[in-house]
Structures are given as structure tokens and as C-alpha cells.
Structure 1
Amino acid sequence: SVLKWASDLSGKHGSELAPLVTAGRQLQKGMKQIIRRVSDEARENGESGMSEPEVILALSESCPTSPEHALFLSNSMAIRDSEFFLYPLSELSSGVDIKAVGSNRGASGIDGIISSAAGFAEAAETPTTLIIGDVSALHDIGALHSLANDAKSQKPGQGQGIRRHPVTVVVVNNDGGGIFSFLPVAQHANDVSFDEFFGTPTRSFSFEMGARAFGLPYQRAFDYDSMQKSFCDSSEDGSSSIVEAIVMSRESNVRIHREISREVAAYMSDILVGDGMTMLNRSPVTTFSNDFFNSSL
């Protein structure tokens, strides 16, 4: 049975896996420095804006004023970056209890993410932050109308709305479908009209004007400090809002992820070798793999 298999695996390999818990805690202490250093190097080489890992780091260190908060992760890069960079840093935030974390199944694609987050906030009965890419946001842009109506209905004299829990929509804007730049097809960009069919740039749309059209508060963040401030201000506002994070190019994003992966692998290898530990089956620490991005985009 599955339970017997899990029990046997734990008995055989539990002692080998245990050191990874300690190693992971040590990595947590160095992860912020790795993200910031790699991102700074990209800016020194001419890039502007934040790196996408920096957005996740900034959110992990920011300050929702509600003692309870929920998190909804969009499909595509948002959930992957959160898995890689939010979880190891989650203990850096203080005084905030992440009540629930949700996402849609990978097979559902990127349709209806904002609507899903709004429903998730109501089910969790707590303010919720949605981390979403620009393409995913455009696929459900009409849902902002519902968020705005819900916010208006909570004002005195406007009656009682259905939803009472605000959603802070953090749009990570890398001007298109950034996840496809990690896939082998990106190496054949000139042959397959990559931008037209995969990159799908969104620069012609203004999220600021979209927010204004729907009557939602909007803030734009270009760097780490403004990302933290914008998120905190939006959380304190008490109503649904949009925070747009302007990030580096999709090509730089790939390089940054891979460089962070290499530095993390080196960091972990130093810990494991220095402490005389070995990983399960003595496997080496692996780095970012394209295979990880091939499943459930």
C-alpha cells in the first residue's frame, strides 16, 4: 500500500534526509543576500526594474496590517517563484499569520485567476493577496469590475455587498508570457515567431488606466523599496487594489533564475561537504531544470 511504502521509505532514508532540514534553515539565512546580489549585478549590466525573485522577497518582508492574511498564487511563473523564493523566506515576516494559500490546478491554465482569488478570499474570510502575471491578469481583466463593485458596496449608504474581504492584486509585469523563455523553443525565437505566439507582449495595455476605468486604487513599483511600500499601503487601505511590479526583461529573468540556482547549489554544497553530510543516494545538488517548467504551465 501507499502508506506502507511511505513508512518503508521513511525508515530507510529518514536519517539521510534529516540533515537537509538543518541545511535548509542555513540556506534561509543566505537566500536574501543571494537574490539581491544577483539582481544588483543584472542592474549593473544595464537592466532596470526589479528581478522577479525580488518581488517575492519584497512581499515576504512586507507588512499586511491584518493579523490574518491569505495568499492566492496564479498559475505559470507566480506559483513557481513563490515555491522557490517565498517559502524559504516566509519566516522573515513577523506578526502575520498566513491563514491559507491557494491556487488553481495546473490543467486549468491561466483563465479566471482574479475571479478565483476573489472567491478564495471570501471562503477564507480574510484579506487576500493575489500574485499574478500580466498575461494572466489580462485573461480575467473583467473581474476587476466585480472587485470594484464589491469595494463600493461596503461603503456607508451603499448597502451590503456579497464579498467583504479585499484582494490586493500584485501584477508582476514582464511584458508577456515569461515562462516560455525558460523552454527550449525560446532558443529558436527567430524561426517560430516567438514573441507573436509565445511571448505575447502586453505593453500596449496600461494597468494603471485599467484600474482607473474600473475605479480601483492603483500603485506602481519599480524597485524593491517601492514594492514594499506599495504593498503595505494597499494592504492598509482596506479595499481591493492593484499593485503593478515593473520587472526586468524576460531574457534577464531567465539568466537571474539560473544564476540564483547556481549560487544556491554552491551554497548548499558548501554546507553539506563542510558538515560532512551526504544527500539521499549521494546525489549532487541540482540546479534549475527546464523540465520543471515543462509541466502544468
Structure 2
Amino acid sequence: MNTSHAFLLHSTCSQAQWLEKLAQGGCFLIAEAAINSAVPGVAERWGGSLEQTRLYWGEAGRVHASISPYCFPVNPENWDAVREQLLTQHGWGIGIQLDWFMRAMPPVEQLKSLQKHLREWNTVVTPSGENAILRVGDWRVVKPLLEASTAPEASAFYGPIGSFWQLTPEGGAETLTLTQREKVAATPPPRTLSAAQWLALLGPSELDVYQRYMAHLREYHGRWRDTDDDSLLAFTQQQSEAAQLHGFNSERDIVRYLALASELEPSFIEAEWAQPVLSQPEYIGTQNRMDRLFEKAIQHLENA
């Protein structure tokens, strides 16, 4: 057992401990139809209509019902059947127990409240301002997100939830329990992820690249030295993507693109002096396109 943060308890538990939670009540399972076609049928059997258990809603929910995550109640009476049908592979379901103040509510109200909360987290806004689907039923998303969160951020994500459980086919479990709840202001969806949270969700190689770019910008470009991580990550993501859209794909070229966007302005590529370079061949002699663009930028600055 270890504590990642003072407000977040990370534990390894046995099947018996999960069964104790089931007996206490307020337990639910999130499972994704996208990876297990049995999910909608099981959810409907134990949670009521598909509309009551599906986390995608409205017209989009009906159209994408076959790939939506579902959330439904589990208890000592249905657990063996649910486990046999759904928890046959690692990562095929996350257990939830509601916090104590929710468990006194009628089961139908518990499900409504939990469904509303989880739906608000289906779509999140990245630091670069783009919408992204957040897989709330995937432990590989939930765990790093929470471990990268501040206490208020974790409190917002937990909402009415007391603990998340990564349930395995063997019966064991890994749990993350919120031990210190903070008051957070109500915000309408989609929720916004901080730079630290978003970086935690990126793949290791992508995360490493962005961190190198950000460290380079802080070291060599004074405007970024005192800038917060969220703003710098948003800039780095946006301009890295812009560089690739314009055909600059090597890390060396992207770093130079970021430098130009920092020292000039993000829209520098649309300037009259820059546009002709984009229509030229990739190589002219020993210079590639970025070599020539960088040279043109220096001439532009000298003549400004």
C-alpha cells in the first residue's frame, strides 16, 4: 500500500475486500461496449433501460450505442454473473463505490447522480483548447489522470465517487480512494484538463517529446521562462501540429518552427515573406525547406 498524495490513497486489495464493499452498497461497474459486445445487454439487465446506463446520451448515444461506456449497479446478488460475463480480460471494467453521503440515497437516484457526473467527463478540453473523449472506464486513463491531479482537480473528478477499483479476472483489485475532499466550484461541461493531467495521459514517447520541446523553449526563449505550464503546453501542442501540417516533421525542424513562432508570432507562416518557401522543393542544394525558412526569417527580422 502506498499514498501517491495526501488526498489520494492507492491500495492493492483482495476479492474479499471488494465483496465487503458490495455488501455496503453504492457500488457500480463501468464497462465499454467498444471492447466487449456483451456490455449493453448486461447493463440493461441490471441497470434498467440502456438510456439509464449508457454514458453517451441523446442522438449521439443512440447512434454510438455499440461503442459507448455503460455504468450500472452491482451487488452481492448479481456480482458473480456480471464478473463471469464481463471481467474476462484485464482492463474490461472499473468498479466504483459512491462516497458515504451518496449511499443513503435510493439506488435509482444513486445511478442518476453517478450517470450525470460521468457524462460531464466524457468530453474534456485539452490545454490547447481542443475537445477530446476521456475514457472514464479505462484504468489506464483514470489512474494517471488522478495521480497527476491537485486536490481540487481530484475532488472535481471524483464528484459523488468515493473510490475507483481496477478489478481483475483473478479477483484482486487495485484501488484509488479520495481521502480528502475539497469544495470545488460547479463548472459546466466539457471539463478542462490541466497541463499536468493532459501530459499524464499522453503516451510515454509523445510525453517525452513535448517535455523536451517545452524545456528548450524555456531555456532559449525568454518569453517562456515565467509562463505557466498550461499556457506553454497549449502553445507547444498547437505549433507542433501546425509545423507538421506544413510538412515539418523532424524534431529538429519542429524545434525551429517553435522558435520562429515564439520570436515572431504564431501566424508567421502566413506572412508574405514565408509563403514562397512552402511551395519550393524540400531540398535545394544542401538546404532543406526549414533551413531556407529560418534564413528568410532572420532576413525579415534584420529588415524590420
TM-score category of the 2 structures, normalised to the smaller one: under 0.3
Q: Which has the higher helix share?
A: 1
Greater length-normalized contact order (CA 8 Å, ≥ 6 residues apart): 1
**Greater share of strand residues, 1 or 2?**
2
After TM superposition, the score normalised by the length of structure 1 is: 0.24
